[in-house]
Amino acid sequence: MVKRLFTPGIRALWFVLAVLCLAYSLMVFLVGSGTFSFVIWLVGAAFFGACHFLAGKGRWAAVPKVVRWMTYVVLAAGAAVFLVCQVAIWSHFFDKGEADLDYVIVLGAQMRGDKPSVIYRYRLEKTGEYMEENPDTRCVTTGAKGGNETMSEGQGGADYLVSLGVDRDRIDVEELSTDTKENIQNALDIIRQREAQSDGDKDNLDNLDNLRIGIVTNGFHVFRGVRIARKLTDAEICGIAAYMQPQYIPNNTVRECFGVIRDFLAGLL
């Protein structure tokens, strides 16, 4: 089956995929969806273009047999890893969370000026809806100020929630984290401190076991957020998936594979 990938009969498919990747890369670049993630699709266009070239005029057959078999092995392994990552990502894509959680942690995303980016806005709007339906739940907004941001993601998220009608007293702000693990770890530290103060024992910071905490992020990101949180705490963790625009699902789910692989190798999943 793998040997047929470079036969003349499949050349048209490689050409179409190369063109689609190139067009999608341009779309992602123009809207600024993800830092340099358009490069992934340029690489895809180059790969499918190379497949198109090699599938013609007996070029692939002229490649030494050992190189061809090594290529087949690499492609099969890459496809297997990609498939496993996608199954994991989609397994939490539509998580709805649970009612009456003690806290929800909103994973930060880019601020554009004094407004959250589209992807962050969806996370915050989902949080606002949840907090309206569950009036006893508190939330922690997370994220530091990036080099291209005018304010921290944590503060920007809190301000946007207030504009949605969420009581400011129900929001804690975390402003030091720069990635998903730090988002969650720092938010958990804030929750520990608040719980210790409410218990009247400021020295007891190991009191999360009986809490129920939700991780709010866009569907493609929920799997990683939930799994990292479960590594960092014994509290009951669930995911709450926010909306995302359908046209950017391929970009975000493919890009998320790299995060899943990285965090798996780091022992965070």
Q: Per-residue pLDDT tens for 151-198? A: 999 999 999 999 999 999 999 999 999 999 999 999 999 999 999 887
pLDDT given for residue 74 in this prediction: 94
CATH 3.20.20.70 is right for the domain spanning 103-245: no
**Sequence-distant (≥ 6) Cβ neighbours of residue 138 within 8 angstroms:** 102, 103, 104, 170, 171, 172, 194
Nearest Cα to 171, choosing from 138, 143, 200? Answer: 138
Q: Is the confidence at residue 4, as pLDDT, over 90? A: no
Threshold 0.75, pTM exceeds: yes
- The predicted model gives 215-223 an average pLDDT of 97
Chain mean pLDDT for the chain: 92
- What does the CA dihedral 215, 218, 224, 228 come to, rounded to 10 degrees? -20
Q: Which amino acid is at 5?
A: L
Domain extents in the chain: 1-62, 103-245
Measured distance CA(164)–CA(52) in Å, rounded: 51
